[in-house]
Structure 1
Amino acid sequence: MGGATVQTLLLENPGRFSRAGLVSAGAKLRVLPVIFEKLASDFPGYLDLMDKFAFSGTAAAAAKREVLEDTAKQDPAVIAQDFRACDVFNVADRLPEIKSRVVIVSGTDDLLTPPKFSDILHAGIAGSKLIRITDCGHMVTSEKPTELAAALRGLLRG
């Protein structure tokens, strides 16, 4: 959702942002129907799905627990609204309009927004830089915060 917001800001405000980071993002974000099903009728089942799909197999238990405990406090209807917005998001044909300096960061083990989505962003945004973080799923901020900070620091410095 954050990547969709950033792309929308870049496209709707050309020239306003000189740099941007896209983390675990895609130009088109289709959502698996089972996610909507679980959110509608089985919130604990949704949390189990996120435990399996949002993290790499090497993610630290503490990082997973923190994210899942926070998610468990959220309203499933609000989460479903976020996913509905993602499901209809599609700016793939507009990527060449993005002229800002963009760093795209993705985890090699991301099952929610697979690395091929980052490849599409990288191919569509001229001059973008693609950084893959190994042994990392969708939750880059929780799984590999040091590596993510280094990637974004390079964007800000350069």
Structure 2
Amino acid sequence: MKLIFIHGSGGCKEAWQFQSKHFKDPLALNLPGHPDGNLCTSIAEYSAWLHSYIQEQGFKDIVLVGHSMGGAIALQYAVDYPEALKGIVTIGSGARLRIHPDVLKMFEASVAKPSLATQFSDQTYKLIAPSLVEVLQTRDQQNTPAAFLNDFKACDKFDIMEGLGKITKPLLAVVGDQDVLTPPKYSTFLVNNVEKAQQVLIPGGTHYVFAEKPNEVNQAIENFIQSL
């Protein structure tokens, strides 16, 4: 079984530091344009890229673990390319990921004034260990605010609500109970509309619950893998 971790908007593989250390032979990857290569402009395009990558590597019995946009990619993958999948895990994600217009405007402005993006990350990373925050903010700068803006636009267009019935693989929806960006109701919707789905609510966790509460999230993923 191959565990593959997919980061969120504008993100990086380093975000999965605590999972990469915990699980046996996992793969945390950088999506195209983060920073190398060309950005994909839709969730379906990111999913197609991931499918090609997985085929090239010859991976079988895959479990995709995706945060936010990464969770959307995993859901799209489960609809379009279920053959090699064993299951998927979404963390702080959902079937529809609309982005507030003010956030889009802020990142449009941050392309010319990157400090605005840093202010945003200061808030969203505030419960993560400072050593990891330093890594994430460095990688954010390397990816540039343009990657965040691109990815947020891709999320804003994403809507797979009507397609959830096509997902036949087991699904685990993990969410922090304090997540305001993708609140628990998003994960509840997944559980109510995917046949083999379960939800784990992490007390005290926000949108980056996997980095804030790694022990609890890792245990939830372990339990899910053992159930497959």
Coarse TM-score class (shorter-chain normalised) = 0.7 to 0.9
Q: How much does 1:46 deviate?
A: 2.5
Q: Quick one: structure 1 residues 15 and 90, their matched pair in 2 at CA, closer, same or farther if it must change by over 3 Å? A: same
1:36 aligns with 2:92: no
CA distance, structure 2, for counterparts of residue 65 and residue 115 of structure 1: 28
Match of 2:181 in 1: 112
Match of 1:27 in 2: 95
CA distance, structure 2, for counterparts of residue 60 and residue 125 of structure 1: 34
8 Å Cα contact 1:63-1:143 kept in structure 2: no
Q: How much does 1:89 deviate?
A: 0.4
CA distance, structure 2, for counterparts of residue 46 and residue 34 of structure 1: 13
1:131 aligns with 2:212: no
Q: How far does the alpha carbon of each residue in 1:43-76 deviate from its partner, in whole angstroms, 9 at most, with x for none?
A: 3223222332x35x75544444443343233211
Q: How much does 1:154 deviate?
A: 0.9
- Choose from 162, 166, 169 the match for 1:97: 166
Q: Quick one: structure 1 residues 58 and 77, their matched pair in 2 at CA, closer, same or farther if it must change by over 3 Å? A: closer
CA distance, structure 1, for counterparts of residue 133 and residue 140 of structure 2: 11
Q: How far does the alpha carbon of each residue in 1:6-32 deviate from its partner, in whole angstroms, 9 at most, with x for none?
A: 011100023431211111111000011
Worse overlay, 112-121 or 67-76: 67-76
The residue type paired with residue 115 of structure 2 is P
More helix by share: 1
Q: How far does the alpha carbon of each residue in 1:127-146 deviate from its partner, in whole angstroms, 9 at most, with x for none?
A: 31100111111112311111
8 Å Cα contact 2:181-2:207 kept in structure 1: yes
Match of 1:10 in 2: 78
Q: Where does structure 1 lack aligned partners over 5 or more consecutive residues?
A: none
Which structure's relative contact order is higher, taking Cα pairs within 8 Å and 6+ residues apart? Answer: 1
1:146 aligns with 2:199: no
SS in structure 1 opposite 2:74? helix
Match of 2:116 in 1: 45
- TM-score of the pair, normalised by structure 1: 0.88
- TM-score of the pair, normalised by structure 2: 0.63
Cα RMSD of the aligned pairs, angstroms, is: 1.8
The residue type paired with residue 143 of structure 2 is Q
Q: Quick one: structure 1 residues 60 and 74, their matched pair in 2 at CA, closer, same or farther if it must change by over 3 Å? A: same
How many matched pairs? 156
CA distance, structure 1, for counterparts of residue 117 and residue 149 of structure 2: 11
